[in-house]
Amino acid sequence: MSGSRAAIRYAKAVLSLATDQKSADAVNSDMKLIINTIAESKDLNQMLQSPVVRSSDKKAVLLAVFTDSNVATTNLIDTLIANKRLSLLNDVALSYVQLYDELRGRQLASVTTAVALTEELKVKVLAKVKELTGKDAEVKNIIDETILGGFILRVGDIQYNASIANKLHKLKREFTLN
């Protein structure tokens, strides 16, 4: 729990600095690259989490992998190393992207469906999210065949479950209670 709080604090500090330097967009791109690279490279993730690997080696690897990073991103890596918190790099990057999107009035809407969303349905979902929250959203489609049909929409703290599996579960509950 304290790790995630620390990650949010670092992310807020970097966002504040990047906003002041008018480089928040570039740092956001760096953070997305860090998230994707760590997710794709099991070795990189293990190296960052390892207490055996020296900090200087970790820094050398990160600077070699992320060569075109913004100064604020490089300073974040230096700060995390100095504070022995480099294992939080992925969490800080995730928190930064979330805070950046909130600052820009964007959010992530995850839609769970039994089959992939068509472009037409994606547009309808985005319109509904805009109507409900007043903010633009990015749609992430999660395919889960166990819901049978319909959809489950999650935006921030709001969840709307219109899946067939949920309706069947409600019917089953009604029949067992009566």
Q: Residue 43 CA to chain centroid, in angstroms?
A: 21
What is residue 145's DSSP assignment? G
pTM, whole model, 2 decimals? 0.69
Whether 78 contacts 66, CB under 8 Å: no
Q: pLDDT value at position 2?
A: 46
Residue 122 to residues 26, 67, 134, 140: CA-CA distances in angstroms? 28, 36, 17, 9
Set out the domains of the chain in order of their start, with CATH numbers: 2-102 (1.10.520.20), 106-177 (no CATH)
Q: Which token pair is 33?
A: 């690259």
* HEC letters along 37-89: HHHHCHHHHHHHHCCCCCHHHHHHHHHHHCCCCCHHHHHHHHHHHHCCCHHHH
Write the pLDDT tens digit of every residue in 58-85.
999 998 999 889 999 999 999 999 999 9
Write the pLDDT tens digit of every residue in 111-163.
888 888 888 888 888 888 888 778 878 888 888 888 888 888 888 778 888 88
Whether 47 contacts 58, CB under 8 Å: yes
Mean per-residue pLDDT for 33-58?
91
